[in-house]
Amino acid sequence: MTKTNTSEAIEALAAEIGENVYIDIAKWHLFLREAHLHTVVADRVYPMLADNSLEESKVLKILEDIPVKLGGRREIPLADMIPTASQVNLMDILEEYQRKM
């Protein structure tokens, strides 16, 4: 896959993630697109999809390694902010995306 095709694929994946996966803050659903986190997630998970090595434990590790700043003073792992239902949705998106590759 050429770099342009890879970039387009990551952008498409990021768009799908951004529109369907959210973090929960005080019972408010903030979609990853709105939080500007969708591209970071797509960039980090895409190599797994390209290598056909998608595993939930690896995805959760990636989410744990993405810090989210709160109030400029604290950082919380993204994994702690995504509810279980939204994590399941993320895995469904990734599995479907990988099938289409």
89 pLDDT tier (thresholds 50, 70, 90): very high
What pLDDT does residue 3 have?
58
Residue length of the chain: 101
Total of domains in the chain:
1
Per-residue pLDDT tens digits for 69-84: 998 899 999 999 999 9
4 pLDDT tier (thresholds 50, 70, 90): low
The mean pLDDT of the chain is: 95
Long-range contacts of 51-54 (CB under 8 A, 24+ apart): 52/98, 54/94, 54/95, 54/98
Q: Which residue has 């919380």 as its token pair? A: 76
Domain that holds residue 56: 3-100
Average pLDDT over residues 29-43: 98
Strands 22-25 and 28-31: antiparallel
51 pLDDT tier (thresholds 50, 70, 90): very high
Residues with Cβ < 8 Å from 70, sequence gap 6 or more? 76
Tell me the two tokens of residue 62: 């990636």
